[in-house]
Amino acid sequence: MIRIAAFLALLVCACSGESCTDPVITPSAYTTSDAVISSESVFIVELSLSCANGAQSVTLYADVNGRQFPVTRGQDVGKYQVSWSLPHKQASSGTYQVKFFDEESYSALRKAQRNNEDVNAIQPLFSVNIDHRGAWSGPWVSTEVVAALIGILFYYLAFSAKSTIQA
């Protein structure tokens, strides 16, 4: 019986993620800038995380405008990435705040959502602001139309010059 209890205690300790105290982050971000070649705007946040207590395998979750996403851990120690996409019309230009939660604060966030409580009362581990300039949807007039108009203009000029010479 003692062996089973010790095994269960060891299993709980091994399965729970480490908590991070005083996180220091170095973020970088990418957002889609060209809507001509893509169907949705993509947001990617990569960051390096180091904790004052030396925690290395911190499980993180991200919250963007009320939508939660799992944060993937990179092969290098302390490297994390989260990504999501939105249709171009919904991905307006501006600053997006990405809140990062550890397991403990994430479970409190989910509990608050289930109970319809104020989710703003739950403090994230840290947050990152991303500037999205919006996606360029191409020129107002396509190049084919411009080329056709130039061709028609040259034809008109050549035809009128020919008519003037023959007259």
Share of the chain above pLDDT 90, in %: 43
Contact partners, residue 103, CB within 8 Å, separation at least 6: 16, 17, 19, 59, 61
Say how far apart CA 105 and CA 108 lie, in whole Å.
Answer: 5
Q: For 87-143, what is each residue's pLDDT tens digit?
A: 888 888 889 999 999 999 999 999 999 999 888 889 999 999 999 887 776 677 788
Rounded Cα gap, residues 147 and 139, in angstroms: 14
The pLDDT of residue 47 is 93
Q: What is the pLDDT of residues 9-62, one digit of tens each?
A: 444 444 456 788 888 989 999 998 877 777 888 999 999 999 988 888 899 999
The pLDDT of residue 8:
44
Specify the pTM.
0.71
